[in-house]
Amino acid sequence: MHLSQITPSLFASLGLADASDQINCGASPNGRELLFLVDGLGADAVEKFSSYIPTLSSLIRHGAVRTSFPSTTATSLATLTTGVNPGTHGMLGYTVQVPRSGGRILNSLKWDERVDPAIWQPVPTLFERATAADISVTHVAAKRYEDTGFTRAVFRGANYRGANIHEDLVTETVEALKKTPSFVYLYVNELDVAGHSDGVGSEKWLAALVAIDQLVANLLKKLPRKTRIWLTADHGMINVGEKIVIGQENDLATDIATIAGEPRARHLYLEDGAPLSAHKEVASRWEEYLGEKATIYLRDQAIAAGLFGIEVSLDASDRMGDVIAIAHGEMILIEAEREKQEGAMVGHHGGATDIESFVPLLTHVTS
C-alpha cells in the first residue's frame, strides 16, 4: 500500500462519490472515521518497541504503507490529504528553493507570507472534496498550526479544532465524531520531536511513545460506538551515524548556489542559467566523493526514475534541485551554515531506506 491511497479509501467508505477504496477498507461501519497521524512512528518501531505499546499492539495490522519520497512530514502529509504524489502536489521536501527568487528558500512547515499556499499546492484536498459532499471533516491538532501557510496548503477544507494537551485532543475528537457521516484527522508530533532531539529508543522517545499508546487507549474508551480508528504515520526515523558537512574538508559545496532539503535528502541548486555540463560536474563530484554512501540524481534523472511519482508538473520540476542527493545507511549531509542545529539532532529522516519509508496502518472499530 501507499500513503496516497489511505485517505481516498476512507472517504470512499463514507460515500464520497469520486473517491475509490484502494486499501480494501470496505464501507464505514457507522459513518465515523478517525485517522490518527503519529509523526515519526515508523513501521519498524511498532514491531521493535511493541512491549511499550500494548494498546497499539492490540490493533489490527491492516498493512505496512510506503511513504512518498522524501520521507518527510511536509511531503507525506500533502500526499495523505490530496491522494496524489509529490510530483503532482508539488510539496517536494522540508525546504526547497522558490523558483526565480534569487535563491530564497521556502520552509514548508514554517512557510513564507510571499508564497500563496493555494497556488503552491493547487490540488484540491480530499477534505475540500468531502466537505463539498456534506461529509463533516475536522482537523484536530495543536493550536499553533491552525493559521499556518502549510495548513492552508495541505489541510484546507477541514474545520480546525485546536488542542494542546492529550486530554483536550480526545475531547475535541470525540465531539467532532458525534456527527455522521464524519471524518476526523488527528495529529500529534511529540514522538518526532523526541526522536530528533534524543534519538529513537531514547528515554525521552520511549516516554513519548508510551504517552501516545495511552492516548489511543483513552480514545478507544470515549469514541462513539462503532467509530473506526486508523493509525498511521508520515515517516520513520534513523539515528545518525556518520556526519558529513558539505564543503568542510571536501569540495562538495563547489558550484552550488543554494542547499535545501534536509540532511538525508538534499536539493542542490546551481546558479540560474548554469549549463547542464555544470550540473553534471557537480553530480560527478558528489558521486566520486560519496560513492556507495549516497545516490545522486540530476533533475531529469530523478523525474525519469519516478522519484517523486510518475507524473511531474512543470511547477514541481521547477522547484526540484538541479542535483538531488539521497543519503544511505545512517549518514547525514549537513549544511555548513546549519552545522550546529543539524549536527545536534540524533534522529533523522527524509531518505529512502525502509526504516524511513515504511509506516504502520493499524485499525480498530470501537464497541
Q: Where are the domains of the chain?
A: 3-84+123-238+352-365, 243-348
- Distance (Å, rounded) from C-alpha 255 to C-alpha 281? 9
Beta bridge pairs of residue 111: none
> Domain 3-84+123-238+352-365, what fold?
Alkaline Phosphatase, subunit A (3.40.720)
pLDDT, position 317: 98
Sign of the Cα torsion 233, 158, 31, 68 reads negative
pLDDT, position 192: 98
> Domain 243-348, what fold?
Gyrase A; domain 2 (3.30.1360)
pLDDT, position 253: 97
Give tens-digit pLDDT for 210-238. 999 999 999 999 999 999 999 999 999 99
pLDDT, position 68: 97
Give tens-digit pLDDT for 133-158. 999 999 999 999 999 999 999 999 99
Give tens-digit pLDDT for 55-90. 999 999 999 899 999 999 999 999 999 999 999 999
- Distance (Å, rounded) from C-alpha 16 to C-alpha 137? 12
Give tens-digit pLDDT for 292-316. 999 999 999 999 999 999 999 999 9
pLDDT, position 240: 98
Question: 258: Cβ–Cβ under 8 A, 6 or more apart, which residues?
Answer: 97, 103, 105, 268, 269
What is the rounded average pLDDT of the residues 190-203? Answer: 98
What is the rounded average pLDDT of the residues 36-56? Answer: 98
